[in-house]
Amino acid sequence: MPNLKWFSGGKERRDEALIIIDDLLATLDNNVKINPLRQLLQSYHEELKNSGTSTPYILSRLNVDLSTVLVENAIHPTREQSAKLKELRALQNIRIL
C-alpha cells in the first residue's frame, strides 16, 4: 500500500484491494479450516473486479465479514497474512477534511 495516498479515490483503492486479496489467496494453504476465509476473499475479489458498487461500501462490508469469518472459524493467520489483512482493512480509512 505504499503508493496509495489518503485522498486516493475508489479506483485506486479497488485496484490495491485486488492486489492484496490476490497476495492473501496465494499464501493460504489447502487446510479445510481456511476454506471459509478463502471463499470470502474470492467472493469479494469477484465483487471488486466486476461490480459497480462503491468501493468504500464494499471494503466496509469486507472488513465486517473478515472479522466474522476469522472469529467464527477460529482462524489464526500467519504474521505475513496478518500484515496483508491489516493493509486491506486500512484501505477503508478515508480522511474527510
- Give percent of the chain above pLDDT 90: 66
- CA 18 to chain centroid, in Å, comes to 8
Q: Note whether residue 2 is domain-resident.
A: no
pLDDT for the residue numbered 62: 95
Range name among 23-27, 71-75, 91-95 with the lowest pLDDT average: 91-95
Q: Note whether residue 4 is domain-resident.
A: no
Q: What is the CATH number of the domain that holds 80?
A: 1.20.1440.140
- Single-letter code of the amino acid located at 18: L
Q: Tell me the average pLDDT across 71-85.
A: 93
pLDDT in tens, 38-66: 999 999 999 999 978 888 899 999 999 99
Q: Note whether residue 54 is domain-resident.
A: yes
The three-class DSSP label of residue 78 is coil
Q: Note whether residue 40 is domain-resident.
A: yes
Phi-psi region at 74: left, alpha or beta (left = phi > 0; alpha = psi -120 to 50): left
Q: Note whether residue 79 is domain-resident.
A: yes
The boundaries of the domain holding residue 43 are 10-90
- Hey, what's the cell of 35? 476454506
Q: Note whether residue 20 is domain-resident.
A: yes
HSE-up (13 A, CA, CB side) for residue 97: 2
pLDDT for the residue numbered 3: 59
Structural domains in the chain (count): 1
